[in-house]
């Protein structure tokens, strides 16, 4: 597969270059495949429930063609996914797609574990270590750290803002050993990101070390996130006649979003033939994308802190890919968009629990709120011409192409549940008065010692440390 660049379509690189470079430092653009080949019809048209790993392998093949032989790719997928996503029906027209069954209990395991194995594969003939630097506002760091733990030839340095992430997230980050280490930075997430970005353009560092990034701009994290969209949409179609009493429902994916990597992966799956009728872009008070959809103007801004902290992103990096793949009109016709504030998050956890018994996390709760508003009159009001005030929580006023399916009650919503509620226990307890069940793999790390290294928010100190340590 050839990959091009969101800012310069004359750029042509192979998969290995796109993965190892992460982004094109010459243009500042992001890599995207030049085409999105359709999945085999035998899989798309099958009426039986699909196998996750078969779907994954078939989806991944064209993007790795000529660079990773099918047997090796199959081994990578088998090794990356001992767990799968689970589609859990919570009411007659709603599923929760649980993406938290991996080691760090958040959806980023899907992308990070594939990326780690692909990077290691491409690095296998190199004598020098590849050094991954990653800034995290929470879940990215633990997913990346866990995915690369003990992967040969690669080490990882994670920077996180001390005290600004949940205690459990901090525990996950600070207890790595061996080739993965964490720096607890006295600053904000933006400070962490700035330290990392400065390191990447520091010629002295670059000449001494092979540095790479592992954030959601890397194409090898986006492609595998498409696996669960393909899998879940095919599964929901196969189940619909029995589970939803519908023959051929429109499938609406509701995606709690921050950097919009997850949603972009859904777009890729749709281009490859996944039976997805539309998307709901759901955000917290960091409403850069809903505002863009409402006004047509894209304005990045500083992030604000919310209960759904893994989505606290004011300048979503994958806007660049979405805008390169679609016009604004196309986006308005594919997406409904919705945002809510902290009160809405608490209310979403409560309402979802009250109506369905399901305990949802603060990120998934935004998807629930959006979907529940859409199917309970919100979409119908838009079709009838309601003009919502986009500066207030709720839907933006655009009417997506799939609106009539909602009004005809021929739609099934799939809410992407991006984290285990136990990772955000305090917020969940505030909402429903009880603590979520803590899975065993999270309980285990609670007793491990904090190994994180304290770091000032000071580039020279960070650089000295890198020089002495890498």
Ligand X SMILES: *Cc1c(COP(=O)(O)O)cnc(C)c1O
- For residues 310 and 140, give the distance between their C-alpha atoms in angstroms, rounded to a whole number: 8
- The least distance separating ligand X from the CB of residue 412, rounded to whole angstroms, comes to 21
Q: Which residues within the stretch 365-404 sit at the binding site for ligand X (CB under 6 A)? A: none
CB 21: neighbour CB atoms within 10 A? Answer: 17
Which residue in 181, 321, 353, 363 binds ligand X (CB under 6 A)?
363
Nearer CB in complex with ligand X: 50/226:
226
- The least distance separating ligand X from the CB of residue 447, rounded to whole angstroms, comes to 24
- The least distance separating ligand X from the CB of residue 48, rounded to whole angstroms, comes to 30
- For residues 409 and 387, give the distance between their C-alpha atoms in angstroms, rounded to a whole number: 23
Which residue in 216, 270, 284, 410 binds ligand X (CB under 6 A)?
216
Q: Considering the rule CB under 6 A, would residue 418 count as an interface residue with ligand X?
A: yes
Which residue in 16, 108, 113, 181 binds ligand X (CB under 6 A)?
108
Select from 252-260, 284-292, 403-411, 455-463 the region that touches ligand X (CB under 6 A): 252-260
| Strand ranges in 214-274 using DSSP code E only, listed in sequence order | 250-256
Q: Considering the rule CB under 6 A, would residue 419 count as an interface residue with ligand X?
A: yes
Interface mask toward ligand X for 255-294; x: CB under 6 A: -xxxxxxx--------------------------------
Which residues have CB under 8 Å from 56's CB, separation 6+? 77, 81, 224, 227, 231
3-state secondary structure 290-339: HHHHHHCCCCCCCCCCCCCHHHCCCCCCCHHHHHHHCCHHHHHHHEEEEE
Q: Considering the rule CB under 6 A, would residue 236 count as an interface residue with ligand X?
A: no
Q: Considering the rule CB under 6 A, would residue 311 count as an interface residue with ligand X?
A: yes
Q: Considering the rule CB under 6 A, would residue 24 count as an interface residue with ligand X?
A: no
- What tokens appear for 118 in the block? 């692909």
- For residues 386 and 398, give the distance between their C-alpha atoms in angstroms, rounded to a whole number: 10
- The least distance separating ligand X from the CB of residue 49, rounded to whole angstroms, comes to 26
- The least distance separating ligand X from the CB of residue 265, rounded to whole angstroms, comes to 8
- What tokens appear for 318 in the block? 């994958």
- The least distance separating ligand X from the CB of residue 136, rounded to whole angstroms, comes to 9
Task: Tell me how many residues contact ligand X (CB under 6 A).
Answer: 16
- The least distance separating ligand X from the CB of residue 248, rounded to whole angstroms, comes to 29
31 in Cβ contact with 4 (< 8 Å): yes
DSSP 258-300: SSSHHHHHHHHHHHTT----EEEEEESS--HHHHHHHHS----
DSSP 149-180: TT-TTEEEEEEEETTSS-HHHHHHHHT--TTE
Given the rule CB under 6 A, which residues bind ligand X? 106, 108, 139, 216, 256-262, 310-311, 363, 418-419
């Amino acid at each position: 597969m050839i990959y091009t660049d969101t800012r310069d379509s004359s750029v042509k690189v192979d998969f290995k270059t796109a993965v190892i470079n992460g982004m094109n430092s010459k243009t500042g653009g992001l890599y995207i495949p030049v085409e999105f080949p359709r999945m085999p019809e035998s899989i798309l048209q099958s009426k039986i429930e699909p196998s996750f790993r078969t779907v994954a392998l078939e989806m991944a093949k064209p993007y790795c063609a000529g660079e990773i032989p099918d047997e090796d790719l199959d081994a990578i997928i088998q090794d990356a996914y001992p767990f799968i996503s689970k589609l859990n029906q919570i009411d007659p027209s709603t599923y929760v797609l649980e993406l938290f069954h991996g080691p760090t209990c958040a959806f980023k395991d899907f992308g990070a574990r594939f990326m780690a194995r692909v990077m290691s594969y491409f690095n296998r003939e190199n004598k020098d270590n590849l050094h991954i630097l990653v800034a995290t506002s929470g879940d990215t760091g633990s997913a990346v750290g866990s995915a690369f733990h003990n992967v040969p030839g690669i080490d990882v340095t994670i920077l996180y803002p001390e005290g600004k992430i949940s205690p459990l997230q901090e525990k996950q980050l600070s207890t790595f050993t061996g080739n993965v280490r964490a720096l607890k930075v006295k600053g904000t997430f933006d400070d962490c990101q700035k330290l990392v970005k400065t390191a990447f353009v520091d010629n002295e560092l670059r000449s001494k070390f092979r540095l790479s990034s592992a954030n959601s701009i890397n194409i090898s994290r986006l492609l595998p996130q498409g696996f669960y969209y393909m899998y879940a949409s095919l599964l929901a179609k196969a189940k619909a006649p029995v589970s939803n009493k519908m023959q051929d429902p429109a499938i609406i994916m509701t995606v709690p979003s921050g950097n919009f990597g997850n949603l972009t992966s859904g777009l890729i799956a749709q281009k490859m033939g996944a039976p997805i009728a539309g998307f709901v872009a759901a955000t917290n008070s960091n409403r850069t994308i809903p505002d863009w959809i409402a006004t047509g103007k894209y304005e990045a801004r500083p992030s604000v802190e919310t209960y759904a902290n893994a989505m606290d992103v004011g300048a979503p990096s994958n806007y660049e890919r979405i805008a390169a793949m679609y016009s604004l009109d196309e986006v308005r016709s594919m997406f409904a968009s919705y945002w809510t504030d902290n009160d809405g998050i608490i209310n979403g956890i409560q309402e979802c629990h009250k109506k369905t018994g399901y305990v949802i996390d603060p990120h998934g709760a935004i998807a629930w709120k959006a979907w529940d508003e859409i199917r309970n009159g919100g979409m119908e009001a838009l079709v009838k011409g309601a003009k919502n005030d986009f500066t207030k929580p709720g839907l933006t006023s655009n009417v997506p192409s799939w609106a009539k399916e909602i009004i005809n009650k021929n739609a099934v919503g799939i809410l992407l549940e991006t984290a285990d509620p136990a990772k955000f226990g305090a917020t969940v307890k505030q909402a429903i008065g009880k603590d979520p069940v803590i899975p065993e793999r999270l309980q285990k790390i609670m007793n491990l010692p904090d190994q994180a290294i304290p770091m000032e928010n000071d580039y020279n100190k960070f650089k000295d440390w890198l020089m002495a340590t890498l």
